[in-house]
Each structure stands twice: as structure tokens, then as C-alpha cells.
Amino acid sequence: MVEPLSEDQADALQEVTNIAMGRAARSLSTLLDTFVTLAVPRVQLVDAANAAEAVQETANLPDTVTAVRQAFFHGLRGEALTLFAPGGGHNVADLLGLDADELGDPPEDEILIETSNILVGAILSGLGEQLETQFSYTPPSIFATNTPMDRVLNPDDLEWTTALLVEVTFTLESRNFTCHVLVLLAENSIAVIRQALDRLLEEF
């Protein structure tokens, strides 16, 4: 059983995440040349058994999602899942320099993978900077296509029992585009975070 974060630690983490998302949103706005919002509705410890439920509660997701997965390791270990409503990717293809006619098959995959990589990279480098740690990444890949949420995070398939979940909602209002990034930090990384947070708290 993982000890829950203290109130101070939880506040500090929420604060760190907000700062990180502010930075990430600014670089994404520059990159995509349009206004973006990154909201952090909640940072929480979740049990594998009710992870899907916890995500559904905050994210207001459609019935089925397409998920892109990317693992990160080195300073902190964990996985990031970006959840998309099916079919939305085409609204943002041109922002990524992707032309509909030169895309592979199925064309939406590349858009979603690309979007996920940029978001996860921006979010994690923002977090890493705040927590003074760095990451290495695996290439992103399609994890699930048009799949109900409880099958994306099926407790039977999850290796962990408790993880720290940072949820980030990415919105491009001008394109009517939203997706959700779930950063799941593995159990043994929670201790590392705790230490980093305590260090930050001491500095205040």
C-alpha cells in the first residue's frame, strides 16, 4: 500500500504541475501558432481497480476512445496515455504539417501519434524541469482504437496496483479539438516525487 501524499505535498504537486503546464502551453502555442489551453483538473493517487472510473469521472470522455501510449524512464518511470475522441484528429492535421494526401493508412493514426508525442513531451519536460529530473522516451504507438475506457485501463491487464495520475486536458478552441493526457507514474517513482516535493517545500 502506498502512503498517500500529505496535504502539503499534494498542494505542491498541483502547483508544480500548473507551472509546468503553463510553460508547456506557451511552447505549444508557439509551435502550433494558435492559442492552446492545458488544464490540470486533478493530480491523485489511483488504484488500478478503479483507474478507469477515476479518469471517466474527471475527463468527461466519449463512450469509446483511441489511445496512444508512450513510456518514459530514466528519472521517473511511467507511461503516458493520450485519449482521443474517434475522428477528431483531422481538425489539427495541418498544424502538424501533415497533408491529408500524403498521410499513410490509416491516416488518423499518424496525426494522433504526432499530437500525443508533442503533448507528452511538452508536459513531461515541464514536469521534469520543476522536479529537476530528465526523461527518456519510447516511441509512441497506438494502444487502443475505438475502445471503451474500462477496456483501455482494464485492471486485469494493469501491472501496478497504485500509481500517481496526472490528468491534463488539452484544448484547441479554434479547432474544436480536445484530448486528454494521462501521465501515470509507477509506484517506485512516487517516492522520488515525494522527495522532490519535500525539497521544494523546504525552499519556500
Partner 1 sequence: MAQAVEPGPDFSALVENINVGIVVVNRDHEIVCWNRFMAAHSGQPADEVVGANIFTAFPELPERWLRQKLRSVFLLGHQAFSSWEQRPYLFKFPHNRPITGGVDAMRQDCTFFPLADASGETGYVCITIFDMTDASIYQERLQRTTQELEELSARDRLTWLYNRGQFETELLAAFRHRERHGGHLSVILLDIDHFKTINDHQGHDTGDAVLRHLAACIRNRFRVSDVAGRFGGEEFALCLPETDAEGARLAAQRLRQEIHDEPAVHNGMAVSFTVSMGVSEADSGMPDPEALMKEADLALYQAKEAGRDRIVVYGENGAS
Nearest to 126 by CA among 42, 14, 19: 19
Contacts of 85 (CB under 8 A, 6+ apart): 61, 62, 65, 66, 178, 179
Return the residue of 11, 109, 187, 198 that touches partner 1, per CB under 8 A: 109
110 binds partner 1 (CB under 8 A): yes
Apex 28 CA angle, 26 and 30, nearest 5: 70
Decide whether 98 or 186 has the Cβ nearer to partner 1.
98
Return the residue of 43, 65, 113, 153 that touches partner 1, per CB under 8 A: 113
Binding mask 139-178 for partner 1 (x = CB under 8 A): xxx-------------------------------------
Spatial separation of the C-alpha atoms in residues 74 and 80, rounded to whole Å: 14
For the record, the C-alpha cell of 176 comes out as 474544436
Spatial separation of the C-alpha atoms in residues 61 and 175, rounded to whole Å: 18
| R_g (Cα) of the chain, nearest Å | 17
The DSSP symbol for 33 reads T
Decide whether 115 or 162 has the Cβ nearer to partner 1.
115
Spatial separation of the C-alpha atoms in residues 114 and 157, rounded to whole Å: 26
99 binds partner 1 (CB under 8 A): yes
Closest approach of partner 1 to the CB of residue 138, in Å: 9
Binding mask 20-39 for partner 1 (x = CB under 8 A): -------xx-xx--------
73 binds partner 1 (CB under 8 A): no
Closest approach of partner 1 to the CB of residue 78, in Å: 16
Residues that bind partner 1 (CB under 8 A): 27-28, 30-31, 96-99, 102-104, 109-110, 113, 117-118, 121-122, 124-125, 137, 139-141
